[in-house]
Amino acid sequence: MKFTRNLTMLVDFYELTMANGYLDNDIGNKIAYFDMFFRRVPDKGGYCIMAGVEQLIEYLSELKFTESDIDYLRSKNIFSEKFLDYLRNFKFSCDVWAIPEGNPVFPGEPLVTVKGPIIQAQFIETMILLTINHQTLIATKANRICRAAKGRTVMEFGSRRAQGYDGAIYGSRAAIIGGCDSTACTISDKIFGTMAVGTMAHSWVQLFDNEYEAFKSWAKTYPDNCTFLVDTYNVLKSGIPNTIKVADEVLKPMGKRPKGVRIDSGDITYLSKKVRKMLDDAGYNDVKIIVSNSLDEYIIRGVLDNGAKIDGFGVGERLITARSEPVFGGVYKLVAIENNGEIVPKIKISENTEKITNPGFKKIYRIFDNKTNKAIADLITLNNESIVENKPLTLFNPIHTWKRKKITDFHVKELMVKIFEDGKPIYTSPSVLDIREYTKKELSTLWNEVLRFENPHTYYVDLSYDLWKLKQDMLLKYTTHFEK
Amino acid sequence: MKFTRNLTMLVDFYELTMANGYLDNDIGNKIAYFDMFFRRVPDKGGYCIMAGVEQLIEYLSELKFTESDIDYLRSKNIFSEKFLDYLRNFKFSCDVWAIPEGNPVFPGEPLVTVKGPIIQAQFIETMILLTINHQTLIATKANRICRAAKGRTVMEFGSRRAQGYDGAIYGSRAAIIGGCDSTACTISDKIFGTMAVGTMAHSWVQLFDNEYEAFKSWAKTYPDNCTFLVDTYNVLKSGIPNTIKVADEVLKPMGKRPKGVRIDSGDITYLSKKVRKMLDDAGYNDVKIIVSNSLDEYIIRGVLDNGAKIDGFGVGERLITARSEPVFGGVYKLVAIENNGEIVPKIKISENTEKITNPGFKKIYRIFDNKTNKAIADLITLNNESIVENKPLTLFNPIHTWKRKKITDFHVKELMVKIFEDGKPIYTSPSVLDIREYTKKELSTLWNEVLRFENPHTYYVDLSYDLWKLKQDMLLKYTTHFEK
């Protein structure tokens, strides 16, 4: 089920001024190749989790300028009628490749590649970046948080603090892709089947004359699904005693038991240990302890390291905004054009060497060791290259080229799949829950050293010899030019 | 012009479980009062800028459960048919008050107050928080950035790095409310009239055989509106010389001049000084220098303090995500209920004293000194209190009550206005550009000490004696209860 608007006009204005310029200079139909990639993993982590492809496909499938859009653009007094006519009859005709959602991805490799008339391939820059940047950011953050929870339940609770409505809706989707068990975001469940959950707020408890009455009423309404929020007044003196009282007096006679208690404030390590003991002593060792309140991967790791007795975490603002680093810096760069059918690579130079792009129309192989089934490296090649499995292959560091490794016993997976051909969508997205399973499976091919939070091992993203040589030659040509 | 979807189901699931519970316990129609407020200004600042009321009104005006929503909820197997019937015939009937957009707002005071049947007043919590939290966060950040720019042009450039589509669209709106001059977000201009701007990307320059050809083509298409991106190859050796060459050879013969140059990388302080001199020496002292590249209020202040020659800033990811502190922590708390027509105040207790709520149905007066027209303090009172202007009034610190100040020569403004009456919208939002003017005007009533970035003076948000007394009595009653 989709939940889309026509987002054609969600575009940086310069994409439109450029598009008009391409047409005005009769180069709108020149075939161009663009790569979307990122340069750095947020939170100094070792990997990101690709997400957002399904929404990218929806956007590209529904590109359409309305008469109202065209009237608006005409009112700007800078666009030609020829251009406005072009938009009126706009027909998307690009080829697009993307790495499927749930794959671990790394700096420098294309996540999305677009080939098509530059007037179109340029135009879709804003939405490709916005879509993939956002969901990849949140899926990555969610995965870190879930890994910190070590198999305990993690619930996404952040809608109220998200950055805008789609921040909540697609953020919730991305959180599930990253590994969360469920979400508080109802509409996300309705659209994507992300499993919405929820119990009570403090206001429920406050509305009644006392906490006992509040819990009792709740138990009568939800005898099969009863989680009490226990910190409205005092967790140990009131919340837990009332939980036990209602469990004994109301639920037990019905043959039911509470599912859990939630603690939303205070020292959760200390409280969870005390609460666990009180519940156990009362015969409720099956009642789960859920905590929430400004959690992230570091706090979760900390409380678990200190022996907190917690079965599940509700994680809000720090997940849904990726608070510790709320920007995923994906970029979209021209890498080639076609002149008379021949691909001419392009490169973006920068004083900052990490900002130099990889030229040409490319593809990516992930290389797995046959013995361990672990990923050894990703290898970016030119699109016309191919790798023969198990045939000796030398990988080398593209900067420190003396660092090299010869491998023989390996298999490969091509990372990017074609999602649009001649402007038509040709890829069907899996369900969000299936993507979550895929994420887990693919992550298991990475060594733990790449996955750790602090100082992870840098996963190798290497260039084939031909690509490396092309890049060196282009850089040298550039340097020579400015030495003149 | 609106750009809305039906967001009724964008709601935390617990609002639904509670709503079903209220109905099941025959208390759904009990009248409740909720306040939305925040506790802390992001970035350790001294003030926030209220934003998001227009979108809140749209959401509340369009609350409606579809048959598909009801089918989805039924599939959860926890909601009664009586409740689903209630939703099917849902009719919003609350009264809502809000502080109009563009007002400076401060911790502890209600930004939104809702009065109505608890089943409704509770339900709208998620969207009130999401809407106001997001836009207030971005308007506040934008205002800091614009103040750092000291009157220079500030353009919002962040769509590609926003957190979701609405993060871009409404973030752009909020940025304008906060003071930005324009935005790159086209759809935001189309919807809100936020003045979209844009020129070229590096890809435009790369597409041509050389930078000179790229600039020349641009100049021919946009002779009246020509800003060149000058850092694709080398700002000083290539970008500026080519700008001057095209200005001389192409634009001058047409009687035109370039509007500006944009620098998107490198040491912008150093480069801007060199570029200014090169342009001036060539007779182009009217050509503006625009810079972009990971800017925020601190970097802008820094480059200006170091004498950078800059006329305008394009600010992207650090504005649109409020990167330095990407969460606005607004909360929504029950403050009163009605029993037989009598208002019974409610309070939320917490070990953390700053989390204790102000009980009761309230209003807020902003008090201005007649001589300076500066704001002295905000005074929160119970709703049935009134203040007589110029009649001696004693303000006191609600914690350190010996800190008091008697004022006599003052006038007041009531901050909250009624936006819904019996579920009907009764407030018309001003245009975004008018709100921006209003922001400027209202901010000018604050002392500079409150506005500064570091260690701002804390603006006083005081309680009336009656409200203070009510709160003390309720706290004392609570303490006595748990001492037993």
**Same domain for B260 and B394?**
no
- Cβ distance of B161 and A130 shorter than 8 Å: yes
Residue A1 in domain = no
Q: Compare CB distances from B10 to A14, A163, A169 and report the shortest one's residue.
A: A169
Residue A270 in domain = yes
Location of structure tokens 């060791």: A369
A1 CA: distance to closest CA in chain B (Å): 11
Residue-level pLDDT at B480? 81
**Same domain for B268 and B164?**
yes
**Same domain for A111 and A48?**
yes
**Of B19, B10, B3, nearest in space to B131 by CA:** B10
Domain boundary among B270, B290, B320: B320
Domain boundary among B296, B320, B344: B320
ipTM above 0.85, yes or no: yes
- Cβ distance of A203 and B5 shorter than 8 Å: no
- Cβ distance of B171 and A159 shorter than 8 Å: no
**3-state DSSP call for residue A254?**
helix
Q: Compare CB distances from B164 to A171, A217, A351 and report the shortest one's residue.
A: A171
Residue A440 belongs to domain spanning: 13-138+326-483
B298 CA: distance to closest CA in chain A (Å): 17
Question: Contact at 8 Å (CB) between B21 and A221?
Answer: yes
**Same domain for A91 and A150?**
no
Residue-level pLDDT at B1? 47
Sequence-distant (≥ 6) Cβ neighbours of residue A339 within 8 angstroms: none
**3-state DSSP call for residue A200?**
coil
- Cβ distance of B326 and A328 shorter than 8 Å: no
Find chain B residues with C-beta within 8 A of A15's C-beta. 198, 201
- Cβ distance of B169 and A118 shorter than 8 Å: no
Q: Compare CB distances from B198 to A13, A337, A350 and report the shortest one's residue.
A: A13
Residue-averaged pLDDT of chain A: 96
Cα dihedral sign, A148-A152-A156-A158: negative
**Same domain for A376 and A478?**
yes
Residue-level pLDDT at A4? 65
B349 CA: distance to closest CA in chain A (Å): 6
Residue of B nearest to A32 (CA): B207
Residue-level pLDDT at B3? 56
β-pair partners for B181: none
Kindly report the length of chain B: 484
**Same domain for A26 and A55?**
yes
Amino acid symbol at A110: P
Which stretches of chain B drop beneath a pLDDT of 70? 1-4, 483-484
Find chain A residues with C-beta within 8 A of B199's C-beta. 14, 17
**Same domain for A331 and A478?**
yes
Structure-block tokens of residue A447: 């060594």
CA-atom Rg of chain B in angstroms: 27
A413 CA: distance to closest CA in chain B (Å): 30
**Same domain for A203 and A173?**
yes
Amino acid symbol at B251: L
Question: Contact at 8 Å (CB) between A179 and A144?
Answer: no
Q: Residue A354: is its pLDDT beyond 90? A: no
Find chain B residues with C-beta within 8 A of A129's C-beta. 160-161
Amino acid symbol at B451: L
- Cβ distance of B202 and A72 shorter than 8 Å: no
- Cβ distance of B160 and A187 shorter than 8 Å: no
Residue-level pLDDT at B483? 61
**Using one digit for the tens of pLDDT, what is the confidence trace for A137-184?**
999 999 999 999 999 999 999 999 999 999 999 999 999 999 999 999
Residue of B nearest to A126 (CA): B160
Residue B146 in domain = no
**Of A258, A203, A193, nearest in space to A226 by CA:** A258
Interface test with A, best of B1, B13, B480 (most A CBs within 10 A): B13
Residue A3 in domain = no
Residue-level pLDDT at B280? 98
Query: How many domains are contained in chain B?
Result: 2
**Same domain for A133 and A49?**
yes
- Cβ distance of A13 and B185 shorter than 8 Å: yes
- Cβ distance of A351 and B327 shorter than 8 Å: no
Q: Compare CB distances from B167 to A163, A189, A238 and report the shortest one's residue.
A: A163
Cα dihedral sign, B144-B147-B149-B153: positive
Of residues B401 and A322, more confidence is placed in A322
Residue of B nearest to A236 (CA): B482
Cα dihedral sign, B11-B16-B18-B22: positive
**Same domain for B180 and B200?**
yes
With the CA atoms of B126, B131, B134 and B136 taken in that order, what torsion angle do they form, in degrees rounded to the nearest 10? Answer: -120
Residue B340 in domain = yes
What's the rounded Cα separation, in Å, for the pair A87 and A70? 8
In chain B, the N- to C-terminal Cα span, in Å, equals 59
Residue-level pLDDT at B478? 83
What's the rounded Cα separation, in Å, for the pair B315 and B183? 9
**Using one digit for the tens of pLDDT, what is the confidence trace for A79-100?**
999 999 999 999 999 999 999 9
CATH of the domain at B235: 3.20.20.70
Residue-level pLDDT at B484? 52
Other residues' Cβ atoms within 10 Å of the Cβ of residue B84: 16
How many Cα atoms are found within 13 Å in the side-chain-facing hemisphere of B324?
19
Domain boundary among B295, B320, B345: B320
**Same domain for B171 and B284?**
yes
**Same domain for B315 and B342?**
no
Residue A160 in domain = yes
Residue-level pLDDT at A1? 47
Location of structure tokens 């156990």: A280
Residue B8 in domain = no
CATH of the domain at B96: 3.20.140.10
Q: Residues of chain A with pLDDT > 70: what percent?
A: 99
**Of B16, A280, A238, nearest in space to A246 by CA:** A238
